[in-house]
Structure 1
């Protein structure tokens, strides 16, 4: 039996890699004659830099960078040598024909998990400054492109913090500098001075979110509450985002239509800010990027059984996220599939039409155990479920 194990992260419990390793080790303990291959998944958030860099035989680099609440800390990024990047992958990722590739993960410097004090989880006060620092540090003369994942962010600043790290300055009506350029300070800003134009690597942003920047489907309305934005503040945040977005467009000569493009509302609008200011910036489909980098199609051709899952498997999982996409692809090839998740949305469990035939949905958490304790038991819960499913 050939088993493909492809988990995404179990947020707050275990990484995608740890979940895959636990499942593979337990499976081989039970069935030593079976063959297991692991393909840790990422939606562009936590684990993106490590997973992509490892898959392409690259090197992990550590930086000291600014976290969203202003603290300094260590963040990693990846570096892939030109010789490791096939022309096919360059075409898929829309990369230049030559040069090294840097991998930047927004969650390393602007991730929700970095804001450890719940009282500081306020998108008015948080910054993407560290993202700009890492983009700058990744931009050496041998790097022709940067691939950036933007999942798991805590911020909603249009990328202003990142642009400030790259040299953008804001000023008030009296001409005084306004810093930091966080949403809490936007009310004082009447204009920007752009940073000098310099040669920079191409920037490819892996993104599966199709939301525009503004409106009822925009960044503040849809993702703001997840980041701590209270409901009565959403209209004010939307209004300020529109005003600051217009000022950024004037500063960098951008089109008003950019804000309406799909994906501009992802990660607090950072794709919008970078698309205005960073030459040759493009959004590329996130899961497609990961799938091609990991060789998922080839792994599915090889597999007799697929095991996938994540912390919570719900409707969003079936709308382009990694585990749902793996499930769909496996079903199209007639491969039996097991979905293991901390929680599985009730209507998905009750309606097999949502997932297809030959699929087993297995919640690994005990509903009688408190959530915090269940999250601490993540690895053992994976092992226990594998033992029960494949005795």
Structure 2
């Protein structure tokens, strides 16, 4: 293991202040549950230490819970929406924040776990649009849309359709929902699209993928949603059609009138709203921007049609939930996720926590379900639950137990937590 990031000197006998800030272990435990288990294990071994839990999300599942736990005065609203496979989703939630903004989480309405079975060509984001519409109905001043864990690759067209947009084939008929139908897209009509909120829409994105190409939404994330090679090709073709016909029209996201928005006849003539990624650029340029491929291209759809801005989900959520202030007083931080690999440092929770900890001079300890790839030099110590449990099946069967054990093991390691033991 590489040398730790220089941090506070550990004075023998002095309690440590430990911040525990994990992501969810997807399909296993939430970020809140993971933080509690790690804290339990650490405190059982070192009961005098001060342990602060700050569960973090990256814009995927658990984002609402992270905000609700950390931001006083939030109000939870629930409604029934259309799921990604057309079945109803009961009690999908969004949060009204004290500053007059709304937080909408894609995973609540259009997440992959809501599917009865993967359906990469037909899954859609219509339900997410219903959530956004419900928030707009209350008069919120801005909307945060947490993008992550999506079931679809529809470029956000389902969401936009729920808000009044129309996506038409060569005969002028509305396309079926889902990314597969976009290969037949001939025109986009945004005349009926309702305006965004006065202070705009911000997308919390957890990836840096562009919309198109070998690193894009269909190629990289399509297989996770059940797409094979032929389906990936069709989804890529559909997203390319969307980028050509809806290249960036979204002044509405900046609170302006709809008069500058193009309709079906001249839909390709608009420009990207002043606040969006790729501001002032044409569709192919916007489609190449990092993050526009998030959530199957939903980030692109919101940026192009409503002028949404794209911001790193993990860092934005960490700032809202008070992680920077906690790190300023911390001796070390523990973070983690279900699987640590080469993508973990690219906009996800672990990468965000590591970057912020480095800036604060705080050592980082990592716990993951499994570790696939080299651990960066900024991480002082790492544990994989599969190593503790013996195999993946046992780790998944009792995640809380193994997370508690991981917390204890990190606390009891000789010289733990790999901070200098020179007296101060």
- TM over 0.5, yes or no? yes
| d(CA) in 1 for partners of 2:346, 2:216 | 17
> Given the alignment of the two structures, is residue 56 of structure 1 paired with residue 53 of structure 2, yes or no?
no
- TM-aligned CA deviation for residue 208 of structure 1: 4.3
Alignment deviations for residues 199-247 of structure 1 (CA, whole Å, 9 cap, x no partner): 4311101124332222222211222222221123333322222123323
Give the direction of change, closer, same or farther, for the CA distance of 1:386–1:287 in structure 2 (3 Å limit): closer
CA shift for structure 1 position 198: 4.2
Matched with 1:42 is: 57
Q: Which has the higher contact order (CA 8 A, sep 6+)?
A: 2
CA contact (8 A) 2:312 2:347 kept: no
Return the alpha-carbon distance in structure 2 between the equivalents of residues 247 and 315 of structure 1: 34
Structure 1 portions without partners, runs of 5+: 83-99, 349-353
Deviation by residue 1:310-368 (Cα, 9 ceiling, x = unmatched) = 111122223332223323433454434321111112433xxxxx2237x1111122477
**Does the 8 Å CA contact 2:205/2:347 hold for their aligned counterparts?**
no
**Distance of 1:15 and 1:197 partners within structure 2:** 35
- Alignment of 1:308 onto 2:358: no
Aligned length: 363
Q: CA contact under 8 A between 1:150 and 1:205: conserved in structure 2? A: yes
Q: How far 1:187 sits from its partner (Å)?
A: 4.5
- Counterpart CA distance in 2 for 1:157 and 1:273 is 9
In structure 2, distance between residues paired with 1:148 and 1:368: 36
Per-residue deviation, 1:127? 0.6
In the alignment, is the contact (CA less than 8 A) between 2:125 and 2:154 conserved in 1? yes
Shift, 1:44, TM fit: 0.5
The separation in 1 between residues aligned to 2:203 and 2:398, in whole angstroms, is 34
Distance in 2 (CA, whole Å) between partners of 1:384 and 1:240 is 47
RMSD of aligned residue pairs (Cα, Å): 2.2
- Pick from 358, 379, 384 the counterpart of residue 363 of structure 1: 384
Structure holding more helix per residue: 1
Distance 1:197 1:347 in 2: 46
Give the equivalent residue in structure 2 for 1:103.
Answer: 103
**1:157 maps to which of 149, 154, 161:** 154
Report the TM-score when normalising by structure 1: 0.85
Shift of 1:192: 3.3
3-state SS of paired residue (1:347): coil
Matches within 5 A, 1:1-391: 1-57=16-72, 58-74=74-90, 75-82=92-99, 100-117=100-117, 121-178=118-175, 180-196=176-192, 198-201=194-197, 202-249=200-247, 250-251=266-267, 253-254=270-271, 255-256=282-283, 257-278=285-306, 280-348=307-375, 354-356=376-378, 359-366=380-387, 369=390, 371-391=392-412
SS at match of 1:124: coil
CA separation of 1:283/1:347 partners in 2, compared to 1, >3 Å: closer, same or farther? closer
Q: Does structure 1 conserve the Cα–Cα contact (< 8 Å) formed by 2:19 and 2:334? A: yes
C-alpha distance 268-29 of structure 1, shift in aligned 2 (>3 A): same
Provide the rounded CA distance (Å) in 2 between the counterparts of 1:369 and 1:195: 58
